[in-house]
Structure 1
Amino acid sequence: MSVNAVAHLNFHGEARAALEFYQSVFGGQATIATYADFGMPAEAPGAGRVVFGQVVADNGFRIMAYDVPGEDAPPAKAAPSTRRENGTTITTEPFFLSVRGETVEEVGALWERLADGATVIEEFGPAQWAPAFGMLTDRFGTTWILDVAAEYAPS
Structure 2
Amino acid sequence: MDARLDYSAGPTAGKARKHFMAVGRALKESALPAATQELVALRVSQINGCAVCIDMHTKEAAAAGETPVRLNLVVAWREATVFTEPERAALALAEEATRIADAGRGVSDAVWAHAAAHYDEDQLTALVVLISFMNAVNRMNAVTRQPAGGYEVGQAH
Scaled by the length of structure 1, the TM-score of the pair is 0.22
TM-score where L is the length of structure 2:
0.21
Q: Which has the larger radius of gyration?
A: 1
Which structure would you say has the larger RCO, counting Cα contacts within 8 Å and 6 or more residues apart?
2
**Which is richer in strand?**
1
Q: Which has the higher helix share?
A: 2
